[in-house]
Amino acid sequence: MKKDTMKLFGFMILITVVVATILLFIVGAIEDNNKKKIAEDKAFMDKIDNAYANFEITLEQFGTDHDEYITEITDKTSINTSIPSNYKKLQEVVNTYEKRVDEIDSDYKFLYDNCYEKFTSYNRKSTNTKCLKYLRYLEQTINNFIEDVKYVNTRIDEYNKWTESYNGSTLALTTYKKVEEIKAKKYTDYVDLDKDGIFLGQIGD
């Protein structure tokens, strides 16, 4: 009887040790997974932060390009009679301008994929802030482009209206033909990437 009790007691100790070992293993595995997840999250947020830093540099460089586009557009539409002769060049300026906007949009697709509708989802507040700033800067860049194309077409519309009055005048020395509006290829609709109900960069009617 005593031997049986000792055997039972020994068996219970063995079971306890086995269970404790399994529990320690599980707890250790969970801790390792948590540490791994924390490390992965940190590395991913670092990647977003680094991409945003590069985006800011690109945007700063683009600011100079943008100023040149606007200067060229303004110069080539400043006088009504210059619009027909500058029309092809105006199209080229708008196409080049849009291509540059598209490059910025495409080059930072990683930020778009991981910031759009996700700028409150990261554990690091500064990463969320960078995501939101990225979305707002891109939104403003795209909407500014649309506004600038609208400006070109406002000048063209003014020219077309001017041709009607000028061609009908007895003082007209030549006939000026109307020209078509310049159309963007990709960016034609205003965007609200941060979904705050405001289209940053839109001047309005």
Instruction: Report the chain's C-alpha Rg in angstroms.
Output: 32
CA 52, CA 57: separation in Å to the nearest integer? 9
The angle subtended at Cα 84 by Cα 82 and Cα 89, nearest 5°, is: 90
The answer to whether the beta carbons of residues 87 and 179 sit under 8 Å apart is yes
pTM metric for this prediction: 0.81
Residue-by-residue pLDDT tens, the chain, 205 positions: 555 666 656 667 767 766 667 766 566 656 656 567 778 889 999 999 999 999 999 999 999 999 999 999 999 998 888 899 999 999 999 999 999 999 999 999 999 999 999 999 999 999 999 999 999 999 999 999 999 999 999 999 999 999 988 887 877 678 888 999 999 999 999 999 999 999 999 986 5
- Helix ranges (H only) for the chain are 2-77, 83-107, 109-115, 125-167
CA 13, CA 8: separation in Å to the nearest integer? 9
